[in-house]
A and B are shown apart, each in its own frame.
Chain A
Amino acid sequence: MDKSEMKIKKELIDSAAMGRAITRIAHEILEKNKGTADLVLIGIRTRGVPLAERLAAKIEEIEGIKLPTGILDITLYRDDLSTVAQQPIVHRTEIPFDITGKKVVLVDDVLYTGRTVRAALDALIDLGRPLQIQLAIMIDRGHRELPIRADFVGKNLPTSKDEVVDVNFKEIDEKDAVLLLEKT
């Protein structure tokens, strides 16, 4: 859906609440993994990337250790390529370390149908054999079409399929906020 044809219905989460959610997820990641050993963060393009960087910064603040972070582009692994009008633009995957034997925390902004995560799992496994893959997301909006769940969730937000959850990061967008958009 084209966001330019949509209007803002509601601000669901403001910048302060987003910051608190990121802090909590960072603590949960450390707790579940009992520290930072073998841990790496990989953000899915586009908005999984700033979230992964924020989590890395927060974890560094807490533990004093900078986790390796990478960027995953899932375009070539999408399951809808034979049904889209134009091929989506392919960007680079930038993971400057070996993921074999690592505990990978995959990071994305919104978990919806689960298809992006499915594509990301296939893309990761072509790059190596991680010890574990965990999933961290800012918003879980429901409507799953595949058996996929997140390990770390910023907020669960039940939505209707006509709505769009738009997570904004000040690195890319104007400010930090989670907006609910609907068709005009």
Chain B
Amino acid sequence: MSLKRKDFLGLYDVSKEEINEILDTAVAMKDILTRTVKKVPTLRGKTVINLFYEPSTRTKFSFNLAAKRLSADVMSISKSSSSIAKGESLLDTAKTMEVMGADVVVIRHSAPGAAKFLAENISASVLNAGDGAHAHPTQALLDIYSIKEKLGQIAGLKVLIVGDIAHSRVARSNIWGLNKLGAEVAVAGPQTLIPREIEKMGVKVYSDLDRALENVDVVNILRIQMERQESGLFPSIREYREIYGMNAERLERIGKKAMIMHPGPMNRGIEIESSVADSSQSVITEQVKNGVAIRMALLYLLAGREIDNENLN
């Protein structure tokens, strides 16, 4: 069993077996990150292009590092410092990259479907690093990996995602992935930030965080974006913190076994209190490390397609 696809666009059309293969591969990749020589020659001669149409620090850095750890050549292009700023279309930019020898194009774009559009129009592998509010599969995979690493399994776990579900590609991708692996997923947040009919994705919906926290194994806290308050989707930062903020008291109530996650960057003191972020139950820094391992696994699995398999002895 191996990943048999040109592109990796989201967890919605990926099988449970494929997810498990990525997670298993990431275990070996993470070992490399702890060695003295943190590099393997696996993707020598391959070229990875990071095409970032949206600001990103950790995802871009993480993909960069993942490609370098595997010995691929990697180039990063951001919107402001390239011909994109001169008005070149997404497709023209990507075609240019392809002609220059890109094997994998990693794309971050504000438009949902941008990765899929690219995948259909270029022959290089396309890896979705976040497209609008649609999908962010590598974030979900690193979240799932972090849960599995700490709790040993996914099936049967109760996972709660708290915050702005409506604008969150991280939430959507987590729901797709976790459901496939047999977790029970719930979401909690202000009704204005919960998309209508989200139940159809197979999740429970809570507006009362304290009820949602009962018997929970994992709490994944999303970043609250300040501009949402300005557009009137919730009354005030202070009120959000009171009602949906993860604080020390709530942490104590969920018990020592439950784990805390946040995809970053955090608003300390708003959706998450510092004492929660830095608690022993928090895996927030480990998530960052696991992100590199997951992206290495995906780059490895996507870079090898076509041609025939032969035994070597």
Question: Interface on A for B, CB 8 Å cutoff?
Answer: 1, 73, 75-78, 80-93, 110-113, 115-116, 122, 126-128, 141
Q: A77-B41, A127-B37 in contact; A86/B309 too (CB < 8 A)?
A: yes
B268 proximal to A (CB < 8 A): no
- Which one of B28-36, B86-94, B133-141 contacts A? B28-36
Smallest CB–CB gap between A70 and chain B, Å? Answer: 12
Chain A proximity mask over B1-43: 1 for CB below 8 Å, otherwise 0: 1111000000000000000010011011101100111011110
Interface residues of B in 274-305 (CB under 8 A from A): 297, 300-301, 303-305
Residues of A within 8 A of B121 (CB): none
Chain B interface residue number, banded: 35 or more
Residues of A within 8 A of B310 (CB): 1, 80, 83-84
Q: Is B4's CB under 8 angstroms from A77's CB? A: no
Residues of A within 8 A of B306 (CB): 85
Q: CB within 8 A of B307: which of A83, A93, A116? A: A83
Q: Is B313's CB under 8 angstroms from A82's CB? A: no
Known: A76-B32, A89-B25, A126-B37. 6 other contacts (CB 8 A): A76-B41, A81-B304, A83-B308, A85-B309, A86-B304, A90-B300
Residues of A within 8 A of B39 (CB): 126
Residues of B within 8 A of A84 (CB): 304, 307-310
Q: Is A1's CB under 8 angstroms from B2's CB? A: no
Interface of B, helix, strand, loop or mixed by DSSP: loop
Q: Is A113's CB under 8 angstroms from B313's CB? A: yes
Q: CB within 8 A of B31: which of A75, A77, A93? A: A93
Q: Is B312's CB under 8 angstroms from A115's CB? A: yes
Residues of B within 8 A of A93 (CB): 28, 31
Q: CB within 8 A of A126: which of B35, B297, B305? A: B35
Residues of A within 8 A of B297 (CB): 90
B57 proximal to A (CB < 8 A): no
Q: Is B42's CB under 8 angstroms from A77's CB? A: yes
Residues of A within 8 A of B27 (CB): 92
Q: A77-B42, A80-B312, A116-B313 in contact; A85/B307 too (CB < 8 A)?
A: yes
B235 proximal to A (CB < 8 A): no
Residues of B within 8 A of A112 (CB): 312-313
Residues of B within 8 A of A85 (CB): 304-309
Closest to A79 in B: B312
B311 proximal to A (CB < 8 A): yes
